[in-house]
Structures are given as structure tokens and as C-alpha cells.
Amino acid sequence: MARVVVLGGGFGGVAAATELRDHLRADGEVVLVDRRDRFAMGFAKLWDLAGLRPIAAGTRVLRDLQGRGIRVVQADVTGIDADAHHVETSAGGFDADALVIALGSRPSPRHRRLLDGPGAHDLYDPEALPAIRADLAAITDGRVVVSILGGPFKCPPAPYEAALIVDTLLRDRGVRSDVEVVVTTPQPMALPVAGVDASRYVADHLGDHGVTLRSEHRVEDVDPDRQTIRFAGDHTELGYDLLLGVPADALPQVLADSGLAGASGWLEPDPATLQLGDERTVAVGDCTRIPTATGQLPHAGVFAAAQGRVAARNLLAALTGGDGERFDGHGYCFLELPGERVAFVEGDFYADPPDVTLTPADHAQFRRKQAYERDHLAAWFG
């Protein structure tokens, strides 16, 4: 009897666990370990901020996976011995025949500290949502800054989506003319991973809404007393009344301690098979760094889920024989604009240069984004 232990119940882990359960022999065991009790869709957070829908509507209880034969253990993963396929957790140790590592990322601790002061929040922290909403409802003049603090960060379009939501909320309250909205990024353009045209598309939309984009602005420090950001290089400063920061992703501590990270400081699985070290260990999603011609594969749920499925197929081939699959770098990102319209950035992210095109925003693609969520939640959780 084969036992596969899946570490992490996010996009990558749930996609892998369900694929494994569907195809592993009935006497095989799939165990999924996560410290959280719920799965949540990342983009639901901005729908909540925009007032479209509460975040809870896109969440599912991980234990519901037990109904389809996956054993769910709510526990902290505290140690990983990949060579021995052994895992330590707060609920005890697990010996496995194969491992899926899908522990995602955590916010950079340094960047979180920069956001400790008054009027500053981690835009990506679901717990910060009520405070962000309250501050946006109270502001009557001054400046809101959405600031990308470093990379890699999750879902490259999301900070721009957030800035446009801020613009809409301020317009709805009739205070937009007295509140400046600025986005800062250390990158040379808005969406380098999607190319020059997509970046110009984003910049044009921000401009149309009166949102200022400051590219090549790397945050060096934040002074909480003066509510001021200091940028590297020429040390320009920018004051804020409300700062919505996007921290860089960092590797979860247990992975940093495991000795599994490569020279980049991230897990570096084979880009096609997702195998890490031996053929019975795979790593997918935000805990990995997969190099591309322009940097790295975006940290995004769509990619994590696609990788999880392919990685599961390769574990099944290693355990029971047969052909595996290859992840070919095809994928897409949604770029949501006001008025329930979504632009679509799609293509071959592994090509050199990436062969990625942007389809301008429309409502049909907004429905495609809704369908992505609905279909995946139904396929995974029933």
C-alpha cells in the first residue's frame, strides 16, 4: 500500500491531493497536512475589499476532502527529511512513499515590520481587511500609496487591481479629488513577466483613473512616525496617509531549515516534472522558484494548481509505473479592472522570450474568472 503525504492545503496541495486520490489504487493512502482548517481563493480577498463579495464565500473546509477519501491532518509541519520521505508534524511523524511539498510562502518578515506603524497595512493579509476598509472609509484627503516592497510577490497584477479598487471606493465617497493614489514598484515596468505591451496597458489604465505609477522605486525604509517611505538610490521620500504594502514572498521557515532550498534560496524543482531530488518528491507553487527568460514563473494560484496536477501524475508514474506528464509553462493571469471587467494575460511563460499576450478587458472574461473559482471549488470539494 502506497502512502503519499501532501504538505500544504492551498492551490498546489489540494490540486495534487485530489489528482492522487482519483488515480492512486484504492488501498493507497493520501494524507494532506495543513495548519489551517480552510482553503481560500486568493483573489477573493480583493473582491471583499471592493465590496463585491465577502472572503468567506470563496473558502472551503479542508476536512471536506475526507469525503473523497483524503485524510486531512490539521497540524504544523515541523520537519522534513526528503531523502527518507519522512515528515514531522505537531500531530506526530509520518513515513511516506512519496511527498508533495506545497507549503506556499510567507510574507517577508522585514517587510511586515515596515508595515507595523499607524496607517500602514499588509495588503495581502486577510486579517488586515477590516482595518483597511475602515481606513479607506475614513480618509477624506491626503495620499494612499500601494507599494510593492520587493519580489517575488504573489499575483503580479493584484497591487494594480487594488489601486483601482481604492480609486473606485474614493470616487463612490466623493473624496477622490482630495486623495492622491500612487502605486510604487521596484520593477522597471508594471508587469515585466507579461511584457512591455501588457505593462503599458496597465499603466494606461492607471493613468485613465488618475493613479500615479512610480516604477523603479525600491523601498528602503518606512518611517512610521512621519508616515513616510524612503526609496533606495536617490533617497526620494513619499509621505502617506494610508500605506497598503505588498511584502515580498519568503520561504516558509520549515523549508528553509530542511536543507532543500537551492542557490536561489527557494526550492528549485525540475521545471517540467516538478521533481525535487528524487522522483518520489515533488515541489509546486509559491515555495518554488522556476526561472524563466524574464525572471521567474509568477507566484500565482493558477500555476500552483496546474503544477500540482502534473506533479501528482509524475508521482503516480513513479509509484505505479506508466508515463508521467510535463508542465509546459502555459498559463494565465487575470487582471481585474473596475466594472466587473477582466483582462487576460495568457501564453507560454517558459518560452524565450515568454510568448504571452494580453486580451483587453471585458465582462466575458470576468465571468471566466468567476467560473475558474466555481469549477475548481466544485471539482476539489464537491
Ligand X SMILES: Cc1cc2nc3c(=O)[nH]c(=O)nc-3n(C[C@H](O)[C@H](O)[C@H](O)COP(=O)(O)OP(=O)(O)OC[C@H]3O[C@@H](n4cnc5c(N)ncnc54)[C@H](O)[C@@H]3O)c2cc1C
Q: Is the dihedral of CA 40, 42, 48, 49 positive or negative?
A: positive
CA distance 22 to 18: 6
* Contact call for residue 334 and ligand X (CB under 6 A): yes
Rounded least distance, CB 354 to ligand X, Å: 16
Minimum Å gap between C-beta 305 and ligand X is: 8
Shortest reach from residue 34's CB to ligand X, in Å: 4
> Residue type for 181, please?
V
CB 265 within 8 A of CB 288: no
Residue 339 beta carbon to ligand X: minimum distance, rounded to whole angstroms: 17
Torsion region of 322: left, alpha or beta (phi above 0 gives left; psi -120 to 50 gives alpha): left
When the beta carbons of 227 and 249 are compared against ligand X, the nearer one is 249
The verdict on 205 binding ligand X (CB under 6 A) reads no
The three three-digit cell numbers of residue 308, written as one number: 500540482
Distance CA 150, CA 157 (A): 14
Quick one: residue 278, left, alpha or beta (phi over 0 = left, psi -120 to 50 = alpha)? beta
Q: Tell me the residue nearest to ligand X as measured from the CB.
A: 10
- Name the segment binding ligand X (CB under 6 A); options: 5-13, 261-269, 272-280, 352-360: 5-13
Q: How far is the CB of 140 from ligand X (least distance, A)?
A: 26
103 lines the binding site for ligand X (CB under 6 A):
yes
Q: Is 43 in the site for ligand X (CB under 6 A)?
A: yes
Residues in Cβ contact with 184 at an 8 Å cutoff, skipping those fewer than 6 apart: 145, 146, 147, 148, 214, 217, 219, 229, 231, 238
**Residue 45 in the binding site for ligand X (CB under 6 A):** yes
Least distance from ligand X to the Cβ atom of residue 103, Å? 4
Which residues inside 23-42 make contact with ligand X, applying CB under 6 A? 33-36, 42
Rule CB under 6 A: say whether 58 interacts with ligand X.
Answer: no
Nearer Cβ to ligand X, position 87 or 182?
Answer: 87
C-alpha 330/C-alpha 229 separation (Å) is 37
By the rule CB under 6 A, 9 interacts with ligand X: yes
For 261-269, the CB contacts below 8 A with 24+ separation are: 262/289, 264/289, 265/289, 267/101, 269/311
- Tell the smallest beta-carbon distance from residue 323 to ligand X (Å): 25
Nearer to ligand X, 158 or 179 (CB): 158
In angstroms, the CA 258 to CA 264 distance is 15
Residue 11 binds ligand X (CB under 6 A) = yes
Nearest residue to 152 (alpha-carbon basis) of 190, 108, 188, 119 = 108
Closest to 260 measured CA to CA, from 71, 82, 43: 82
Residues 146-175 interacting with ligand X (rule: CB under 6 A): 154-155, 158
Q: Under the criterion CB under 6 A, does residue 104 sit at the interface with ligand X?
A: yes
Strands 295-296 and 330-337, by their bridges, are unpaired
- Contacts with ligand X: how many residues (CB under 6 A)? 33
* Contact pattern for ligand X over residues 112 through 151, marking x by CB under 6 A: ------------x---------------------------
Residues 257-316 that bind ligand X (CB under 6 A): 285-286, 299-302, 304
Give residues 218-257 in contact with ligand X (rule: CB under 6 A). Answer: 252, 254
Q: Does residue 21 bind ligand X (CB under 6 A)?
A: no
366 lies in the binding site for ligand X (CB under 6 A): no
Given the DSSP bridges, would you call strands 98-101 and 278-283 parallel, antiparallel or unpaired?
parallel
**Binding residue (CB under 6 A) for ligand X from 17, 31, 77, 274:** 77
Looking at the Cβ atoms of 122 and 227, the one nearer to ligand X is 122
The rounded distance, in Å, linking the Cα atoms of 291 and 190 is 19
Written as nine digits, the cell of 320 is 505505479
Cβ proximity to ligand X, 239 vs 262, nearer residue: 262
Which residue ranges make up the site for ligand X (CB under 6 A)? 8-13, 33-36, 42-43, 45-46, 76-77, 102-104, 124, 154-155, 158, 252, 254, 285-286, 299-302, 304, 334
